[in-house]
């Protein structure tokens, strides 16, 4: 599995955008779109930080209050588009906001798969153009 990750990311230039990320995951890792029955408010807030930073700066510091306000902001107002994908080989779901290339990944596994999945997610961040230093600080 680790070799698969390294081989697929090795020859790809950076940075990339959300639409490219969706296509890359579909073509390279056979990701399939899945239906989401909920709105990931933390992902929406993260995307808004990228596409509408002034909007987010005016929100209250309190986490619950922030998410209540974020919930009521129509995604269409800022052109946000969310895509949910399932990657079978990693037993992982990834929710991506296309305009900002923000994403959230969740997976089920044990200790043996946890390290591989975290490495895969870090490779995605680097592929998107996030520096290795920032990846280590974020992880």
- pLDDT for residue 139: 45
- pLDDT for residue 130: 66
Tally the residues of the chain: 139
Helix (H) or strand (E) holding 85: strand 82-87
82-87 and 32-33 as β-strands: parallel, antiparallel, unpaired? antiparallel
Helix (H) or strand (E) holding 55: helix 53-57
- 73-92 residue pLDDT tens: 999 999 999 999 999 988 99
- 6-61 residue pLDDT tens: 555 554 555 568 898 899 899 989 999 999 878 899 999 999 999 999 888 888 88
Q: Where are the domains of the chain?
A: 2-9+17-129
- pLDDT for residue 59: 87
Q: Could you write out the DSSP letters of every residue in 99-125? A: TTTEEEEEE---HHHHHHHHHHHHHHH
Quote the CA–CA distance of 85 and 17 in Å, as a whole number: 16
- 85-124 residue pLDDT tens: 999 988 999 999 999 989 999 988 777 788 888 888 888 8
Quote the CA–CA distance of 127 and 14 in Å, as a whole number: 6
Quote the CA–CA distance of 47 and 43 in Å, as a whole number: 6
């Amino acid at each position: 599995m680790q070799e698969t990750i390294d081989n697929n990311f090795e020859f790809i230039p950076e940075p990339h955008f959300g639409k490219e990320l969706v296509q890359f995951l579909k073509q390279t890792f056979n990701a399939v779109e899945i239906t989401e029955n909920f709105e990931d408010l933390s992902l929406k807030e993260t995307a808004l930080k990228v596409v509408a930073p002034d909007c987010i700066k005016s929100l209250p510091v309190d986490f619950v209050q922030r998410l209540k306000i974020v919930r009521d902001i129509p995604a269409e107002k800022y052109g946000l588009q969310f895509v949910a994908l399932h990657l079978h080989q990693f037993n992982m779901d990834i929710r991506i906001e296309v305009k900002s290339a923000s994403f959230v990944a969740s997976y089920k596994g044990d200790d043996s798969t946890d390290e591989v999945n975290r490495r895969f997610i870090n490779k995605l961040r680097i592929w998107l153009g996030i520096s290795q230093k920032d990846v280590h600080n974020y992880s």
